[in-house]
Structure 1
Amino acid sequence: MESWGGFLDYSSIFTEMNYVSVSEKVYEAIKGSILSGKLKVGEQLNERLIAKHMGTSVSPVKDALRKMEKEGLVVIVPRKGSFVAEGIMTSIEEIYMVRGALESVAAYLAAQKLNEEQAERLRTHFRLMEEATRKQDLLLTIDLNQKFHVMIRKIANNSYLMHQLDVIRSFELSTLQKQFLSEPEQLNLALVEHESILLAILDKDALLAEERTAKHIQRTVEYLRSKMNPQVRT
């Protein structure tokens, strides 16, 4: 990869940046490039060059790097700069492990608390998921899949659980979701898994809903592990 003044040419890395705000754009672009392997372990992240390429000030870049330091994706060394951290797969895997545990509890509670009106809404939503999957509409499928899990959380009706899941989901990245569902086989398999979760909840089988949700999240971890750049795997 070409460099400029000893630093990477970021124009070949940060390409898709259609996000709502500058801060979100910067955060998602840098994080996506790290998780996709475009930025390798140990590479230095030059704040000024990133800001120049993305047409912003340095402040959003600094904020993004500090946030990613807390997530374990970036190491900030005083008077030296910011670098892509080692052990990134561990961080991602841990995020999904926690999410899997929380989502599983949400499914368990939803199966116990489900009423008929909520059940019908879940059925209607799943039909939309089927249609989007049939059309291989990636972005719509991702959106509907996310909303499916949100519906389950709302049915679970546990404010503490909702808050913790919101925190965990904020660590996730649309780039990873697109990567996970970009293959038709993965789209179809995700639909089958969501249907199995739905049926368990509709049957009010709390233990089965919990088990199927945990397996669904675990498969996400295994798929990401298989697709991640070898340099960022554990």
Structure 2
Amino acid sequence: MTLTRPKSLRELALEHLRGRIVGGELKMGQVLSERGISDELGVSKSPVREALAQLRDEGLVTIEPQKGARVFTLTEHEVNQICDFRQTIETAAFELALKRNQKALSSDMIRIVKDMSAARKSGDEAKYLELDTAFHQAIFKNCENDYLSASYDRYVGKIAALRTHLSALPQHTQLSFEEHIGLAEAVQKSDLAEIRRLLSEHIDRTRQTYASSIKES
């Protein structure tokens, strides 16, 4: 029998804060009070401070001396850098996954797209966004390269939080869903050229949508 180690207060605080940031409950730029979080969770400031330090390393929180912690914000330039990172690392992972685990990758993506469709029909936006993240993580799960996976995992929370932010914009989720369907079909056909094209369009639209949202705000 395998015993499950209970989560530490730091881990509980970390999961709580990360979930609220990724889910959009805590907005970009929002001030985070150590005392307020401590009181909310019923823990001391120490595990909260440790959780905030980890979130800073993940890019989800900024911490400034004398000013405290805030949820991250993004400039258009920073979003472009994230998209450059995603384009490079996801293309590399896709190529390896297609070569090493095409059937498993295809199976994962078909299942996730089916679940995404069900989430959209039921109006469960949070579930849909969770599945969107899982869709891209499936690429790394099947590429069999721990270094690529670790590099993506370091920023997956920030990418997911950006995804949540963009989901509120007109037509973004519908177009994104159609692109996921196309990618799943291209994987099923082992069409690497089509995967590269669709992935490029998928990520470039993030750049364009975020840039438009900044101009309109």
Shared fold by TM > 0.5? yes
Quick check: which has more Rg, 1 or 2?
Answer: 1
Residue 13 of structure 2 is matched in structure 1 by 22
User: 1:148 deviation in Å?
Assistant: 1.7
Measured against aligned partners, the alpha-carbon deviations of 1:207-232 in whole angstroms (never above 9, x if no partner) come to 3313322332232243334445999x
- Give the alignment partner of residue 179 of structure 1, picking from 165, 174, 184: 165
Retained in 1: the 8 A contact 2:18–2:157? no
Quote the offset at 1:35 in angstroms: 4.9
Pick closer, same or farther for the CA change 1:183–1:204 going to 2, 3 Å. same
Give the corresponding residue for 1:9.
Answer: none
Q: Where does residue 44 of structure 2 map in the other structure?
A: 57
Q: Give the structure-1-normalised TM-score.
A: 0.66
Structure that is richer in helix per residue: 2
Is residue 28 of structure 2 the alignment partner of residue 36 of structure 1? yes
SS in 2 for 1:56: coil
Cα distance change of structure 1 residues 154 and 125 upon mapping to structure 2, 3 Å threshold: same
Q: CA deviation at 1:193?
A: 0.9
Per-residue CA shift, 1:28-87, capped at 9, x if unaligned?
A: 557867753444xxxxx654355445643222342344345543852432xx34365997
What is the SS of the residue equivalent to 1:74?
A: strand
Distance 2:140 2:102 in 1: 14
Deviation at 1:161, TM superposition (A): 1.2
Does residue 94 (structure 1) correspond to residue 85 (structure 2)? The answer is no
1:206 is matched with which residue?
A: 192
Instruction: Give the gaps of 5 or more residues in structure 1.
Output: 1-19, 40-44
The answer for the alignment partner of 2:117 in structure 1 is: 130
The aligned amino acid for 2:15 is E
Name the CA distance, whole Å, in 2 between partners of 1:103 and 1:160.
12
TM-score using structure 2 length: 0.70
State the Cα distance separating 1:169 from its structure 2 match. 0.9
Counterparts of 2:56 and 2:105, CA distance in 1: 40
Q: For the structure 1 residues 178 and 69, does the alpha-carbon distance in structure 2 shift closer, same or farther, using more than 3 Å as the test?
A: closer
Q: Does 1:74 align with 2:74?
A: no
Structure 2 portions without partners, runs of 5+? 1-10
